[in-house]
Amino acid sequence: MTAATHSTLFSQGPSGSSAPASPSGADEVLEGLDPEQREVATALHGPVCVLAGAGTGKTRAITHRIAYGVRAGILQPSSVLAVTFTNRAAGEMRGRLRQLGAHGVQARTFHSAALRQLQYFWPKAIGGSMPRLVDRKIQLVADAAAACRIRLDRGELRDVTAEIEWSKVTQTVPADYPLAAARAGREAPRAPAEIAQLYSAYEDLKRERAVIDFEDVLLLTVAILQDRHDIAEQVRAQYQHFVVDEYQDVSPLQQRLLELWLGDRDNLCVVGDASQTIYSFTGATPDHLLDFRARHPGATVVKLVRDYRSTPQIVHLANGLLAQARGRAADHRLELVSQRPPGPEPVYTEYPDEPAEAEGAARRIRELVDAGVPAGEIAVLFRTNSQSETYEQALADAGVPYQLRGAERFFDRPEVRKAGIALRGAARFGGNDSLLDDAVDLPSQVRAVLSGEGWTPRPPAGSGAVRERWESLAALVNLAQDFAAARPGATLADLVAELDERANAQHAPTVQGVTLASLHSAKGLEWDVVFLVGVAEGMMPITYAKTDEQIEEERRLLYVGVTRARERLHISWALARSPGGRPGPRPSRFLDGLRPGTAATGGRGAAGGTAGVERGSAGGPAGTAPRRTRRTPARCRVCGRTLTDAGEMKLMRCEDCPSDMDEGLYERLREWRAVQARRSGQPDWCVFTDKTLIAIAETAPEDERELVRIPGVGMRKFNRYGADVLAICAGRGGDGLDEES
């Protein structure tokens, strides 16, 4: 298993050491790059957008870009900030930059960079000591639930926590959650009004305990940079060149932070692939990537489509998947071109049931390992973590070591441990348990016991931890059915012994083993051989994917899975969950027209995926991007002097020029703002800053057009507060103000 495509560019170090030597100069940094990667590396000025398909060497391109700029003396190392989304990716970037001789460049996650700035500027901007940062917010959510007298099980706690995180990165306050969740089509784990209540209580608890969470790190940094022009300028003086990796995954909050770091400059390079957007449930959106050229008309756009990772056969399948896609991301898909020698065709296998599918995969993996393929270069990828148990057991039975990535071992999961305790108790004292009175055989006994742990005959609606918990319990129910079929007359005690034996076997050390991982946790990784399992309707796409957008994200998830494979790809599905079960699922619709003997479900024309460079136009022929319009200097509306201070630009006058502010209106606006802040659980300045309120009180806008034009308002805040503000300006009060007065 490796983290990214990487080929050695430079000769070995002294004494034949495997560590490559750093390039001797700037020109050597460019050696070994393909033409498009070289374009990325040498495009050091102005906005640059790199559209990089899977396996095309995007990390290589951007690290060489930074290194070339540093080694050529164009970029000062301390002035460059490269941001990405995981500590692993940031660490890998730092390592590559050191290897290329670009020492001193900051490569961090968004949160790490923001936390560093927040810690440094807190005494100056806020005063005193910064609140303690909580690593895990789930206990706070549990305390908030207790304060609200709402009972949440472990799964619901995790799901409500995820909803709070989504709300914060999309800048949704508690009062707005129900409407925002409905608009986003989110499957809430509880009633939206309850989640809004829990979210509000959670924010109250944080304030009482003087703690902040990871989303607050971004929110507070944004707030300081918005309201403290001097601090923003200090940050901008430090960092003058920005590189953002995985740009398709930025949230609205991260985008806002990036804009504040940039100010009115455009030395920004973003890298991403809309076809690998698979985290929309966390607030990520590819819109910022897709809109980059519109926001920066003069941008240079480079497309990387030479795939160095996968064979032509695998790349052909990946391109075919996207050729049938719909939606905005599909309109910008890249047509990959493999740079590797031909390999075997992908293998498609249909099995009668899921245990047979797992045994078949384990058997093939055993053959590969015996033939010399390292176990660490093989992966089994599935849609949900609940599928892992069957493959854990099949690999253990085949004597193949494995390692789980991004998930707890099946028998370590809290719901499985708790279910095991309940089954063990029933095996010992079942004669006195009324739950088992009507249970006539082992499977019905297990169903009866697990019904007390949350198992139901039908799966719960929606996704998240509640669904995963149910899937884990359902796996135990299915295991009991299989065990009873294999050993007629087996008792509950026999099943418990079997479960204990399986759990003990799976705790054996597995240092170099086959990787078992969900498709989401496989992002950014690659293996020589990949087994994509459970590729059937109901699992791929997942049952609860209902809307067109959700279906398309499922297609992209399968695309990510396919593009993890370098040389061999095995795709399989089962027609039933258990042996002898009624056939149900059909192969995934995403494979129609791609696997032998099937017809396409309606494809699309080839994408604009040709490798190449599009440079920002200064006014070329029709259809090309226009030059970005120059901003008209802001001038004081009293004396006419050009304004440069952010606070003065908000007021549209010099600080010491006379003000015609309506003092009474200003006080009413301040009272209304205090009410809104208490409602949303935010500081006053998160509603509107003092400068913005002064500007409103001086302008006394009469309609939407006048209000939106005031710096610090904009459409987002107008949509939330505009009606109230206009009502107050018209002397009618406002809903929030009336409620408190």
456 is in an annotated binding site: no
Structure confidence by residue, pLDDT tens digits, 32-52 = 899 999 999 999 988 999 999
- 52 among the known binding-site residues? yes
pLDDT of 7 > 50? The answer is no
User: What's the CA gap between 443 and 435, in Å, rounded?
Assistant: 13
Tokens (6 digits) for 315: 């790349």
* C-alpha pair distances (Å), 32 with each of 6, 100, 281, 323: 12, 13, 38, 31
Distance CA 539, CA 545 (A): 10
Q: Is the pLDDT of residue 718 over 90?
A: no
600 marked as part of a ligand binding site? no
Q: Backbone phi, then psi, for 355, in 5-degree steps?
A: -60, -40
Best CA proximity match to 474, nearest among 459, 487, 463: 459
d(CA 248, CA 333): 12
- Check: CB of residue 576 under 8 Å from CB of residue 482: no
Take residue 107 and report the two structure tokens written for it.
Answer: 């490569």
Name the pLDDT band for 430 (thresholds 50, 70, 90).
low
Handedness of CA 101, 105, 107, 108 (dihedral sign): positive
Which carries the bigger pLDDT value, residue 301 or residue 403? 301
pLDDT bracket for residue 236 (50, 70, 90): very high
Q: How far apart are CA 410 and CA 475, in angstroms?
A: 10
SS3 378: strand
Mean pLDDT in residue range 81-99: 86
User: Hey, is 298 helix, strand or coil?
Assistant: coil
Mean pLDDT of 161-174: 91
Q: Structure tokens of 296? A: 């920066």
Percent of the chain with pLDDT over 70: 84
Give mean pLDDT, residues 246-266. Answer: 92
Check whether 671 has a pLDDT greater than 60.
yes
Beta-sheet strand order (sheet of 514-518): 347-351, 565-574, 527-532, 378-382, 514-518, 402-405
**Which residues fall within 8 angstroms of residue 630, CB to CB, at 6 or more apart?**
none
Spatial separation of the C-alpha atoms in residues 701 and 695, rounded to whole Å: 10
Cα(first)–Cα(last) distance of the chain, in Å? 63
53 labelled as ligand-binding? Answer: yes
Beta carbons of 69 and 44 less than 8 angstroms apart: yes
Question: Of the given ranges (189-203, 349-363, 707-721), which has the lowest mean pLDDT?
Answer: 707-721
Q: Determine if residue 188 is labeled as part of a ligand binding site.
A: no
Half-sphere exposure of residue 614, counting CA atoms within 13 Å on the CB side?
A: 21
E strand residue ranges, 336-375: 337-338, 347-351
pLDDT of residue 640: 64
Asked if the peptide bond before residue 711 counts as cis, ω within 30 degrees of 0, the response is: no
Judged against a pLDDT cut of 80, whether residue 610 lies above it is answered with no
* Rounded mean pLDDT, 318-341: 89
pLDDT band at 138 (very low <50, low <70, confident <90, very high): confident
Q: Which of 64-73, 186-195, 429-438, 670-679 has the lowest mean pLDDT?
A: 429-438
Indicate whether 14 pLDDT > 50: no
The pLDDT confidence band at residue 65, using thresholds 50, 70 and 90, is very high
Kindly tell me if the per-residue pLDDT of 364 is higher than 70: yes
Place of tokens 């083993």: 513
pLDDT band, very low/low/confident/very high, at 18 (cuts 50, 70, 90): very low
Q: Residue 404 in contact with residue 388, Cβ under 8 Å?
A: yes
Closest CA to 728 of 692, 708, 701, 709: 701
pLDDT at 19: 43
User: What is the rounded distance in angstroms from the CA atom of residue 135 to the CA atom of residue 519?
Assistant: 25
What's the mean pLDDT in 489-505?
A: 80
Q: Give me the pLDDT at residue 508, please.
A: 30
Mean pLDDT of the region 42-66: 92
Q: What is the DSSP letter of 731?
A: T
Q: What is the mean pLDDT of the chain?
A: 82
- Judged on CB neighbours under 10 Å (0-12, 13-18, 19+), 303 is buried
The pLDDT, as a whole number, for residue 623 is 38
Q: Which of 251, 255, 334, 268 is nearest to 62 (CA)?
A: 268
Which band of pLDDT confidence, cut at 50, 70 and 90, is reported for residue 488? confident
**Separation of alpha carbons 104 and 109, rounded Å:** 16
Q: What percent of the chain has pLDDT over 90?
A: 38
**Per-residue confidence (pLDDT) for residue 618, from 0 to 100:** 41
Which has the closest alpha carbon to 473: 494, 458, 491?
Answer: 458
Tell the residue number behind the tokens 């069957």, with chain if given. Answer: 390
Banded pLDDT at 576 (limits 50, 70, 90): confident
Region 118-146: mean pLDDT is: 89
Give 631's pLDDT tier (boundaries 50, 70, 90): very low
Q: Residue 631 carries which DSSP code? A: P
Q: Degrees (nearest 5) of the Cα angle 202, 207, 209?
A: 95
Q: Give yes or no for residue 567 having a pLDDT over 70.
A: yes
Q: Where are the beta strands (DSSP E) in 245-346?
A: 268-272, 300-304, 306-307, 337-338
Q: How far is residue 167's CA from residue 372's CA, in Å, rounded to a whole number?
A: 49
Higher pLDDT, 690 or 52: 52
- What is the average pLDDT across 239-259? 92
Q: Strand runs (DSSP E) across 228-376, as ranges? A: 241-244, 268-272, 300-304, 306-307, 337-338, 347-351
- Gyration radius from the chain CA atoms: 29
Lowest-confidence segment of 195-209, 363-377, 636-650, 689-703 by average pLDDT:
636-650
Q: Running DSSP on this structure, what letter comes out for residue 542?
A: B
714 pLDDT more than 80: no
Locate tokens 């959670």: which residue? 202
Tokens coding 706: 């006048």
Q: What is the mean pLDDT of residues 473-493?
A: 84
Nearest CA-CA partner of 577 in 633, 534, 513, 637: 534
On the question of pLDDT at 12 being above 50, the answer is: no
Number of Cβ within 10 Å of residue 566's Cβ equals 22
Residue 711, phi then psi, degrees to nearest 5: -55, 135
Judge contact between 686 and 677, C-beta under 8 A.
yes
Task: With a cut of 80, say whether residue 609 has pLDDT above it.
Answer: no
Higher pLDDT, 610 or 188: 188
The neighbouring-strand residues paired with 671 are none
Query: Is 124 a known ligand-binding residue?
Result: no
Identify the burial level of 107 via C-beta atoms within 10 angstroms of its C-beta, where 0-12 means exposed, 13-18 middle and 19 or more buried.
Answer: buried
pLDDT at residue 626, rounded to an integer: 38
Alpha-carbon distance values, 600 to 71, 332, 336 (Å): 51, 21, 20
CA distances from 479 to 443, 484, 502 (A): 9, 9, 11
Inform me whether the pLDDT recorded for 741 exceeds 50. no
Query: What secondary structure letter does DSSP report for 538?
Result: B
Following CA atoms 246, 249, 251, 255 in sequence, which dihedral angle do they give, to the nearest 10 degrees? 30
Got the DSSP string for 116-181? HHHHHHHHHHT-SPPPEEPS--HHHHHHHHHHTT----HHHHHHHHHHHHHHHHTT--GGGHHHHH
Q: Once rounded to an integer, what is the mean pLDDT over residues 715-726?
A: 84
SS3 725: helix
Mean pLDDT of 716-736: 81
Q: What is the arithmetic mean of pLDDT over 382-391? A: 87
pLDDT score of 615 = 59
- Stretch 337-361: mean pLDDT: 93
Helix or strand (DSSP H, E) at 311: none
601: β partners: none
pLDDT of 125 higher than 50: yes
The residue among 582 and 252 whose pLDDT is bigger is 252
Q: How far apart are CA 470 and CA 8, in angstroms?
A: 47
